[in-house]
Amino acid sequence: MENLKVVQFDFGFECNPILAKEKVVKPTKKDKSDFVFDFMDCLASPIIVFKSAWQDTIPKDILSRIKLSRIICSMTGDKTASLTETLAYMMPRTYEAPMQTEWANIYTWLGLQYAMQNKSKDQLEAMTEIAPKELSDYEKGLLKNLRLWIYDKRRKALKGILKKNKVSKDDGVLDIQEKLF
């Protein structure tokens, strides 16, 4: 079933049909294992937050939405941390000490994006007043670098967890699966 040719039927819509490719590419073992690791990364990777005494103050609604936002990023092919995950990382840092203007703009912009995604009317009204509508190119670069750094740390942490947990000899299942379900 992996090598199906797909043809799009014309139902009279105003779009051109997608042509079926002549050569069907077979997925390799590496592609399959990458998919499995990416899926595990979305669901089982630890949430990376700024090390602070305030790291327990992140709201539960933000933490609960991180897995879904990771899956959405993965589906789009984005190899960075999600905006929700980046917001959760930055939140404890904001309680420590005042931040530079660029980072304050990034943090409030992330809050605005979170409020727009979750359609929280009260949060959205508050965030539209204080958050910038758009980030500067420099701030976008800082945000991109932070998202890449969080993504790398998250995947390294998952690899470390998987190395610690061995495959059980009885059924061939990872020991971590008992903890996940």
| Residues paired with 174 in a beta bridge | 167
**56 lies in a domain?**
yes
| Residues paired with 167 in a beta bridge | 174
CA 158 to chain centre: 14
pLDDT value of residue 86 = 94
**27 lies in a domain?**
no
pLDDT value of residue 121 = 75
| Residues paired with 140 in a beta bridge | none
Question: 27: closest CA among 16, 18, 36?
Answer: 36
**17 lies in a domain?**
no
pLDDT value of residue 8 = 59
Q: Which of 21-25, 32-36, 147-151 holds the top average pLDDT?
A: 147-151
pLDDT value of residue 42 = 87
Half-sphere exposure of 118 (CA within 13 A, CB side): 21
19-44 mean pLDDT: 72
pLDDT value of residue 177 = 52
DSSP line for the chain: -TT--------S-SSPPPPPPSSPPPPPHHHHHHHHHHHHHHHHSPPP---STTGGGS-HHHHHHHHHHHHHHHHTT--S--HHHHHHHHHHHHHHS---HHHHHHHHHHHHHHHHHHT-HHHHHHHHHHS-SS--HHHHHHHHHHHHHHHHHHHHHHHHHHHHSPBPTTT--BTHHHHH-
**153 lies in a domain?**
yes
pLDDT tens digit string along 58-116? 889 888 899 999 999 888 888 999 999 999 999 999 988 899 999 999 999 998 888 88
Q: Please count the structural domains in the chain.
A: 1
168-177 mean pLDDT: 53
**147 lies in a domain?**
yes
pLDDT value of residue 151 = 93
**4 lies in a domain?**
no
**40 lies in a domain?**
no
- 8 Å CB contact between 106 and 142: yes
For 167, phi then psi, to 5°, come to -75, 130
**13 lies in a domain?**
no
Token pair for residue 80? 């960075």
pLDDT range class, residue 168, cuts 50, 70, 90: low
Is the pLDDT score of 12 beyond 70?
no
pLDDT value of residue 82 = 92
pLDDT tens digit string along 119-153? 777 778 777 888 888 999 999 999 999 999 999 99
- Residue 72, domain extent: 49-161
pLDDT value of residue 167 = 53
pLDDT value of residue 14 = 66
pLDDT value of residue 146 = 94
Instruction: Tell which wins on pLDDT, 175 or 112.
Output: 112
- 8 Å CB contact between 119 and 77: no
Is the pLDDT score of 43 beyond 80?
yes
